[in-house]
Amino acid sequence: MKFLKKYHLKDFNFILVISVLILSIIGILAVGSALPSAQTKQIIGVCLGLVVMLAISLIDYTWVLNFYWIIYAVNLLLLLYVEFFGASYNNAQRWINIAGVITLQPSDLTKIFLVLFFAKFLMNRENRINEPKTIITCVLLVIPSLYLILTQPNLSNTICIAALFCILMYLGGLSYKFIGTVLAIAIPCLIIFLSIAVMPDQPFLEEYQQKRILAWLNPEEYASDTGYQQQNSIMAIGSGQLSGKGLNNNTTTSVKNGNFLLEADTDFIFAIIGEELGFVGCCIVIILLLLIIIQCIISGIRAQNLAGQIICGGIAALIGLQSFINIGVATGVLPNTGLSLPFVSSGLTSIVCFYMGIGFVLNVGLQPKKY
């Protein structure tokens, strides 16, 4: 069959798979402690993710990329479906309910789909990446996804995907001169934007989004309101000290046991790890994430073509971006957002999507360039 090839077992990245599995097991334990009712679903998500990852790892990624325009169209159709018929929760319309049993969040799929699409699109224009026409076309192609996700509203995922797009363009061969020019314009614009965003009656952000930024800048002032979550998260992580209080502990001094953390199984799962597994547990999670990212990059370096390099680099960047944002929020380094911690946070779509990404990285690794 065209989509299957003969691979060598020596090229299979067992270190990557083992790292992902260990991190997922930590995630299952942490989610079970944060929200026992979600643990079974987390186990199902990991098992389903493993099956998907192994299946994708055997499918020739160059064959999959032949359908890159179909992948792009499916992504937009899913986002449009959410726009008009999606399920709502907490004033956000981000999900698709399937038979009232499975809940799908297409914005998670968008990240994987865009990596695949631009891997092929940029490889086809490898020698024209720095032409204005190519750059403008790429920007126009990513705007519909960004707009549809922003209107859900889902600002955090919009920012994450925009940053991922910039990294994909860099991986595609965008010149440092152009990147430097963009940064010289973007950084002052960002400073001006933030300056305006914290002012009364600003036109850019919703009220709750502005409050999150203000709570980040002035945590004491908003400690009992918008900044409540992050302050409790920091307290939980600090209280774990070196080795933590233990998973599923019943101590009365636990921030988690006192129900002072909302979304503890998703957005603030790192706070649970900090409190119950301590500094050691936090370090293990961060080291595993770094190891996964490094293994993805190594697979990209050995890839047979630019598309493979972009896939591996894009998945590495996605894991790095979401990990940095999630941990940054939990530790108060960044304003409060709603991004999951890869392979750890509760969320079926998120888990399976990250396993999909690893599956493609594994297949790229199975087809190294020949020297």
Q: Read off φ and ψ for residue 20, nearest 5 degrees.
A: -65, -40
Measure the CA–CA gap between 174 and 129, rounded to whole angstroms: 6
CB-CB contact of 286 with 327 (8 Å): yes
Q: pTM for this one? A: 0.92
Residues written for the chain: 371
Closest by CA position to 62, among listed 4, 131, 139, 133? 4
**Tens digit of pLDDT for each residue in 215-270?**
666 666 655 555 667 888 888 898 888 988 888 787 767 777 767 777 788 888 99
Closest by CA position to 353, among listed 75, 104, 118, 49? 49
The DSSP H or E segment spanning 119 is helix 106-124
CB-CB contact of 362 with 14 (8 Å): no
CB-CB contact of 269 with 27 (8 Å): yes
pLDDT score recorded for residue 224: 57
CB-CB contact of 157 with 164 (8 Å): no
pLDDT score recorded for residue 233: 86
pLDDT score recorded for residue 223: 55
pLDDT score recorded for residue 216: 66
Measure the CA–CA gap between 172 and 309, rounded to whole angstroms: 9
Residue type, 167: I
Which regions in the chain score pLDDT beneath 70?
Answer: 1, 99-101, 204-205, 208-209, 214-228, 252, 258, 371
Measure the CA–CA gap between 103 and 234, rounded to whole angstroms: 30
pLDDT score recorded for residue 219: 66
Tokens of 181: 């020019």
**Tens digit of pLDDT for each residue in 305-348?**
999 999 999 999 999 999 999 999 889 888 877 789 999 999 89
Where do the DSSP E strands lie in the chain? 87-89, 92-98, 102-104
Degrees to nearest 5, angle at CA 183 with 207 and 202: 20
CB-CB contact of 360 with 61 (8 Å): yes
